[in-house]
Chains A and B, each alone.
Chain A
Amino acid sequence: MVMAVLRRLGQTLFVLVGISVLVFLVFFATPGADPTARIAGRNASSETMARVRVEYGFDRPLPVQYARMMEKLFVTRDLTSYVNRGQKVVPEILEAAPVTVSLVSGAAVIWVVLSVAMGVIAAALRGSWVDRGLMMLGLVGISIPVFWLGQVVNLVTQSRYHESWLFSWVPGLGYVPLTEDPLGWFRALALPWLTLAVLFVGIYSRVLRADLVAVQSEDFMRTARAKGLSPARVLLVHGLRTSMITFVSLFGLDFAQLVGGGALLTEVVFGLQGVGRLTYQALSNLDLPLIMATVMYSAVFVVIANAVVDMLYLLLDPRVRDGR
């Protein structure tokens, strides 16, 4: 068990190094794209160019450049932005991360609870109008673009009906830290949570229903019924528990990519200064250090989430535990 965990950690580290090398090469060693020119700005004099080149180490070989970049990113953490000179990149991300984590965690709670409920009810009433209605609702949820939904929510709650009793509790756009004002945090995030969760409720409830229906024809479900268990117990204790394995792996990946910056559209629409929005800014300004940092941050999350999912597998499926 300890060996397995250690091996897993080693793999994780290896993947992270690989990603950092790739990202570095793509942004700093692409032929024809001289990072010096980007930093020095348009029509810069040759002296300025030379100074920048020395400062960032662009006159040294690539491995040295890579090592310096990693040092600035992880050890001294004083990598500065190209666009806003002097702005340190790492603290900027550390400041944005809690916003994204708050947004995604809340949405995840909503989408897990709702999709499990919807999937189970639909599977239990398979073929009925309830089943068809719920699955149709799920499909609608999947089809609605999140930025459009966000804009409509804002339109309704921020301007048109903001004064009505229904939406007067909705604060202005933006983030309120949990530690400062828990109630304010909740109020600021409630609508973004719901908006972000809609898509995933749709996907997850449909996936879970399909899994539950497929599991119905398994021999062990027939055994469970032959034992004299109630239909609810057969479905929940034997069916749902077994179907959870797919659900968890899907959840791990989606959660990680959202925390890693995938909630970009929701963050932009609701004015939340999260990692997604930071990535978006970095990309539109071609702010290489910031891009480097956000990509590394996101990679760390995806890789860690994968490791966590693997650990959860061990808990959920005894067959994996024995390495089968």
Chain B
Amino acid sequence: MLLVVRDLTVALPIGGRLVPIVESVSFTLGAREILGIVGESGSGKSMTSLAIMGLIDVPGARVSGSVRFRGRELVGLAPRAYRALRGREIAMIFQDPMTAFTPVYTVGRQIDEQIRVHQKISRADARSRTVRLLGDMGVPDPERVAGRYPHQLSGGLRQRAMIAMALSCNPALLIADEPTTALDVTVQAQILDLLRGLRREYGSSVLLITHDMGVVAETCDRTLVLYSGLVAERGPTGALFAQPGHPYTAALLDSIPPLHGPRPARLPSIPGSPPVPAERPAGCPFAPRCAYAHEACAVRPALVASGVQDIACVLPAEGRPLPPRFVAEMSA
């Protein structure tokens, strides 16, 4: 296993006390695998990725649990050692390519910088690698693009440049935090294609963070559903889409517009909003919004195996799992 995360908990100081934003999240990621982490805003998915990167810089924040990358423990790793890892073995691409590049330097210079920080090579060699990477990412006329400033490029080109920068040192793990959210639909599809191709051409594993179930269906081998900082469900994407075990997963799937059949007048939505971290209920955090909520939900359900999936819900154990869904087509 490339990455083994066990009971990762991230607590931030809010109003004078430590409030857990992410609670006991566990998952594994194998070589050349794409794992999707899905959840609403505030579900802790970005916080999880920043914790793996060691980039949480809120004063007083506490990260506990274990993150093992190639057998090496990352939680509590010395800053200097972490720095050698970041950008070289674990790289990250961010949601908004507009603001993720420093506006006053050319894109090429910023990619060169990352290469030269981690490897002793000449400026000219770094630039030729930058140009090759940009070309690999499907950037037309990469030499010219390398000499341009971020604001002179379109969103799609910027995100390609961002991915080129992330891949510049051939990282084993790429964390992509909502890489397509800020892009328009056709560009989204191209970027997802690119991410899928990475494992073939670069042998990278990808941790894809998104709130878009459609993106997950198209891209991910396995899926982790986060709700309110807790794992709701995890399992192979196909199984999870065919028979969601957690009512939250099912509700998320219901909110995807169907491609076939009559168009619903209004897409089903989940009533209410997720609890804020400081006021998370003692029992199942989804219970207040759940159609299946009953007395048993007053105790926080443990993550239990049910077939190939792990589900944090009492329904399967009570012998009344959710019905399987008809999946019209699965491209994954």
Q: How far is the CB of B143 from chain A (nearest CB, A)?
A: 18
Q: How far is the CB of B97 from chain A (nearest CB, A)?
A: 9
- Tell me if B113 and A319 are in contact (CB < 8 A): no
- Tell me if A228 and B87 are in contact (CB < 8 A): yes
- Tell me if A224 and B102 are in contact (CB < 8 A): yes
Q: How far is the CB of A243 from chain B (nearest CB, A)?
A: 10
Prevailing SS type, chain A contact patch = helix
- Tell me if A220 and B99 are in contact (CB < 8 A): yes
Q: Which residue of A lies closest to B89 (CB)?
A: A228
Complex Cα distance, B53 from A222, in Å, reads 11
- Tell me if B165 and A241 are in contact (CB < 8 A): no
- Tell me if A228 and B118 are in contact (CB < 8 A): yes
| A-facing residues in B121-154 (Cβ within 8 Å) | 149, 151-152
Complex Cα distance, B117 from A52, in Å, reads 76
A31 on the interface (CB 8 Å rule)?
no
A229 on the interface (CB 8 Å rule)?
yes
Q: Which residue of B lies closest to A218 (CB)?
A: B99
Encoded as 1 (CB less than 8 Å from any B CB) or 0, chain A from 302 to 324 comes to: 00000000000000111100101
> Among B83, B104, B117, which residue has its beta carbon within 8 angstroms of that of A318?
B104
Complex Cα distance, B57 from A38, in Å, reads 69
Across-interface contacts of B57 in A (CB, < 8 A): 225
> Among B96, B117, B151, B162, which residue has its beta carbon within 8 angstroms of that of A228?
B117
B261 on the interface (CB 8 Å rule)?
no
Q: How far is the CB of A99 from chain B (nearest CB, A)?
A: 37
Q: How far is the CB of B112 from chain A (nearest CB, A)?
A: 11
Complex Cα distance, B99 from A242, in Å, reads 13
Task: Known contacts A227-B117, A228-B88, A241-B104; decide if A222 and B94 are in contact (CB<8 Å).
Answer: yes
Task: Known contacts A219-B96, A227-B114, A228-B117; decide if A322 and B151 are in contact (CB<8 Å).
Answer: yes
Complex Cα distance, B65 from A88, in Å, reads 82
A226 on the interface (CB 8 Å rule)?
yes
Complex Cα distance, B105 from A319, in Å, reads 10
A223 on the interface (CB 8 Å rule)?
yes
- Tell me if B83 and A324 are in contact (CB < 8 A): no
Encoded as 1 (CB less than 8 Å from any A CB) or 0, chain B from 43 to 65 comes to: 00000000001010101000000
A72 on the interface (CB 8 Å rule)?
no
Q: In the complex, which of the residues B86, B88, B102 has the most CB atoms of chain A within 10 Å of its own CB atom?
A: B102
What total of chain A residues lie within 8 Å of the partner, measured CB to CB? 24
Q: How far is the CB of B29 from chain A (nearest CB, A)?
A: 18
What total of chain B residues lie within 8 Å of the partner, measured CB to CB? 30
Task: Known contacts A227-B87, A228-B86, A228-B117; decide if A219 and B104 are in contact (CB<8 Å).
Answer: no
- Tell me if A226 and B53 are in contact (CB < 8 A): yes
Q: Which residue of A lies closest to B148 (CB)?
A: A318
B100 on the interface (CB 8 Å rule)?
yes
> Among B85, B103, B113, B149, which residue has its beta carbon within 8 angstroms of that of A229?
B113
Q: How far is the CB of B70 from chain A (nearest CB, A)?
A: 16
Q: How far is the CB of B72 from chain A (nearest CB, A)?
A: 16
- Tell me if B117 and A226 are in contact (CB < 8 A): no
Across-interface contacts of A238 in B (CB, < 8 A): 102
Across-interface contacts of B104 in A (CB, < 8 A): 241-242, 316-318
> Among B84, B86, B102, which residue has its beta carbon within 8 angstroms of that of A226?
B86
Across-interface contacts of B55 in A (CB, < 8 A): 222, 225-226
Q: How far is the CB of A37 from chain B (nearest CB, A)?
A: 59
Q: How far is the CB of B104 from chain A (nearest CB, A)?
A: 6
Complex Cα distance, B118 from A226, in Å, reads 12
B91 on the interface (CB 8 Å rule)?
yes
- Tell me if A228 and B85 are in contact (CB < 8 A): yes
Complex Cα distance, B87 from A242, in Å, reads 22
Across-interface contacts of B99 in A (CB, < 8 A): 218-220
Task: Known contacts A226-B91, A319-B151, A322-B152; decide if A220 and B117 are in contact (CB<8 Å).
Answer: no
Q: Which residue of A lies closest to B84 (CB)?
A: A228
Q: In the complex, which of the residues A226, A230, A241, A317 has the most CB atoms of chain B within 10 Å of its own CB atom?
A: A226
B101 on the interface (CB 8 Å rule)?
yes
Q: Which residue of B lies closest to A242 (CB)?
A: B104
- Tell me if B84 and A220 are in contact (CB < 8 A): no
Encoded as 1 (CB less than 8 Å from any A CB) or 0, chain B from 165 to 189 comes to: 1000000000000000000000000
- Tell me if B113 and A219 are in contact (CB < 8 A): no
- Tell me if A220 and B86 are in contact (CB < 8 A): no
> Among A127, A219, A228, which residue has its beta carbon within 8 angstroms of that of B114?
A228
Complex Cα distance, B117 from A218, in Å, reads 21
Task: Known contacts A223-B94, A228-B83, A229-B113; decide if A319 and B103 are in contact (CB<8 Å).
Answer: yes
Q: Which residue of B lies closest to A230 (CB)?
A: B83
- Tell me if B152 and A223 are in contact (CB < 8 A): no
Across-interface contacts of B83 in A (CB, < 8 A): 228-230
- Tell me if A227 and B100 are in contact (CB < 8 A): no
* Shortest 8 CB-CB contacts between residues of A and residues of B: A228-B87, A228-B86, A219-B99, A227-B87, A318-B149, A227-B114, A220-B102, A226-B92
Show the binding face of B for A, using Cβ within 8 Å.
Answer: 53, 55, 57, 59, 83-88, 91-92, 94, 96, 99-105, 113-114, 117-118, 149, 151-152, 162, 165
12 contacts between A and B (CB under 8 A): A127-B59, A219-B94, A222-B55, A223-B102, A225-B57, A228-B118, A229-B114, A241-B104, A317-B103, A318-B103, A319-B103, A322-B151
